[in-house]
A and B are shown apart, each in its own frame.
Chain A
Amino acid sequence: MTKRNARQEWDAIEKLAVEDEMDRILALSDAELDRELVDAGFDPKVEAEKGAAMAADLVAHRHEQAWQAEAEAKLARVQSRFAARGSRGEKLTRAELEGRIAMARTDPRLAQPVSVMFRNRPAEKATDEELEAMLEEIEALAEHEE
Chain B
Amino acid sequence: METSAAEKRAVLDAVLAKMDKDAWKKLRKQLLTFAVYRSRSSELGEDLVQRAMEKLLDPRRSSWDPAKQPVLARHLMSVVNSELQNERTSARARRDVPLDKDPEDKDDLRDERAFSEDRAVEMDLHARRLGMLRKRLERNAFALELLALTLDGRETPAALATATGRTIDEVIVTRRLMLRHAADVAHELGGDDARDEGQDDEDDAEAEEVA
CB-CB nearest 4 A-B residue pairs: A51-B28, A48-B25, A6-B126, A55-B24
Interface residues of A in 1-25 (CB under 8 A from B): 1, 4-7, 9-10, 12-14, 16-18, 20-22, 24-25
Residues of B within 8 A of A (CB): 9, 16, 19, 21, 24-30, 32-34, 36-38, 42, 45, 50, 53-54, 56-60, 71, 73-74, 77, 81, 122-123, 126-127, 129-130, 133, 147, 150-153, 155, 175-176, 179-180, 182-183, 186, 193, 199
Question: Do residues B26 and A30 form an inter-chain contact, with CB atoms below 8 A?
Answer: yes
Question: Do residues B59 and A25 form an inter-chain contact, with CB atoms below 8 A?
Answer: no
Interface of chain A: mostly helix, strand, loop or mixed: helix
Shortest beta-carbon distance, A4 to chain B, in Å? 7
Residues of A within 8 A of B (CB): 1, 4-7, 9-10, 12-14, 16-18, 20-22, 24-26, 28, 30, 33-34, 36-37, 39-42, 44, 47-52, 54-55, 58-59, 61-62, 65-66, 69, 72
Question: Do residues A59 and B57 form an inter-chain contact, with CB atoms below 8 A?
Answer: yes
Asked, given contacts A20-B176, A36-B33, A52-B24, whether A41 binds B38 with beta carbons under 8 Å apart, the answer is no
Question: Do residues A21 and B155 form an inter-chain contact, with CB atoms below 8 A?
Answer: no
CA distance A37 to B21 in the complex (A): 19
Question: Do residues B182 and A58 form an inter-chain contact, with CB atoms below 8 A?
Answer: no
Shortest beta-carbon distance, A110 to chain B, in Å? 21
